[in-house]
Structure 1
Amino acid sequence: MKLSNVGRKNLVIFSLVIMLGLIGYINYSLNRQSLLQTSSELEQYRMTMLEESGVMLDLLEEDALIEEMEDQDAKDQDTEKQEEALEEGEKQEEKQETEDVLAEEEAQIVDSRSYNEVVGLVNETSAEIAENITNRETMKSSTYFIESRLERDKKRSEMISYLNDIINNQLTSEEIRGEAQTVKLDMITSTEKEVLIENMIVGKGFNDAIVYLTDKSVNVVVSADALTETDVAKIVDIIRRETNIGMEGITIMNKK
């Protein structure tokens, strides 16, 4: 079967297209290989030039210097941390030594307290309160009863606070702690009885009254221009019924 003129032309054109494509692929491959070879040679040439000019050596030395500086910084930081830890340890030791010294001093102070010392301080405070209540100059004040109660309660509150310090201190011996608790309980009981006796005296017809009570004495001041034997008898009767204090321990005064 013979091809027509048109068929032959198409076959020739197709063959030419295939040949051109093949030639293009071969040319691309050769160019790519040549480019890769050129790039490799160029890189090798550049490295050779850097080495010959000393630039490469400088770069390597610079990198080594940077690495050495970083290592030195790390060592300096470690040394600084060790010094800080050592300094902190020394501070803690000094603090502990100071606390130990203070604890020892406090222990000596607590151990030096005795029952007689505590009782002596209580008696001294009681004398101050009694003196303030029975002071004639103090009685001239129009607010005597208010001021005297405030002063009495203040002094007694300070004394109870002092006893609490002894009781709550871990270094206090059990003997002294027990004695301090007994004194504190007596003071609280006295305070309650004072209020009771004052109310009972006012209930007998007096305008006001203030009472200060200890284990052996009682001081009473009532608001009155004068005290009759009947008035005194009423007050003594109240005191004898609420306390065990004898007549020699009772002091009764009037405030005009």
Structure 2
Amino acid sequence: MNKKQGVIIVVLLALIVCFGILATKLNADLDYVAGNDMPNGKSAISINDSSKKNSSSNFFQEQQIIRDNKEAQALQTLKSLMDDEHTSKEDKAEISKKYSKLALAGPKQSQIETVLKGKDYEDALCYIQEKKVTIIVKSPKELTEEQKKQIQEVVMDVTQIRDVEIERKE
């Protein structure tokens, strides 16, 4: 197996994981729309009127879906450019590098979010750009310097990127 085939396999695995996560989240949203929360004694109408906590959780879920959709569209666009016969070899090589970076960013984002949730953050959202990582965590109060340092360490362990922007959402 050559390097190109290895990259293709990794990209396909990343896409499978992303689509699996997306399908899980979409199916959960469909249960909500269908009113399948009835065993809990809540109707779809009462859920819509529930507290700020629910809307904040929805924010994180919606942003993850939006991020995943944008990444999937970008990957598809890059793939079509790589497959275009009018694209030069030099451009294809550059596009291939961008494609690989973007395809590998998805699992890293998920890994960072999972680790942060394991460190007692209720929810987290991660965006990896080329040389910067933006983290949004759900926290009822301002983050301490120790918490910020902990988040930066998690990002550094996964991505090796030092420039970390941390935001808090209630």
TM over 0.5: yes
Deviations 1:98-145 (A, max 9, x none): xxxxxxxxxxxxxxxxxxxxxxxxxxxxxxxxxxxxxxxxxx943100
- Per the alignment, residue 94 of structure 2 pairs with 179
- Per the alignment, residue 232 of structure 1 pairs with 148
Distance 1:215 1:241 in 2: 16
Deviations 1:32-54 (A, max 9, x none): xxxxxxxxxxxxxxxxxxxxxxx
Distance 1:158 1:243 in 2: 23
SS of the counterpart of 2:117? helix
SS of the counterpart of 1:225? coil
TM-score (norm 2): 0.64
Structure 1 segments unaligned to the other structure (5+ residues):
1-139
- Per the alignment, residue 68 of structure 2 pairs with 153
- Between structure 1 and structure 2, the one with the greater Rg is 1
- Tell me the CA shift for residue 171 of structure 1: 2.1
Distance 1:250 1:237 in 2: 10
Distance 2:148 2:81 in 1: 40
Q: Which residue, 196, 216, 219 being the options, matches 2:131?
A: 216
- Per the alignment, residue 59 of structure 1 pairs with none
- The answer to which structure has the higher helix fraction is 1
Report sequence identity in percent: 27
Aligned pairs (5 A) from 1:1-256: 141-142=55-56, 143-226=58-141, 227-246=143-162, 249-256=163-170
- Per the alignment, residue 9 of structure 1 pairs with none
Deviations 1:145-198 (A, max 9, x none): 011011111111111111011111122211111111110000011111101111
TM-score (norm 1): 0.43
Deviates more, 1:149-158 or 1:225-234: 225-234
Cα RMSD of the aligned pairs, angstroms, is 1.5
Distance 1:228 1:201 in 2: 15
- Highest RCO, 1 vs 2 (Cα 8 Å, sep ≥ 6): 2
Deviates more, 1:178-187 or 1:227-236: 227-236
Deviations 1:68-120 (A, max 9, x none): xxxxxxxxxxxxxxxxxxxxxxxxxxxxxxxxxxxxxxxxxxxxxxxxxxxxx
- Tell me the CA shift for residue 215 of structure 1: 2.0
Deviations 1:197-223 (A, max 9, x none): 111111111111010001200000111
Structure 2 segments unaligned to the other structure (5+ residues):
1-53
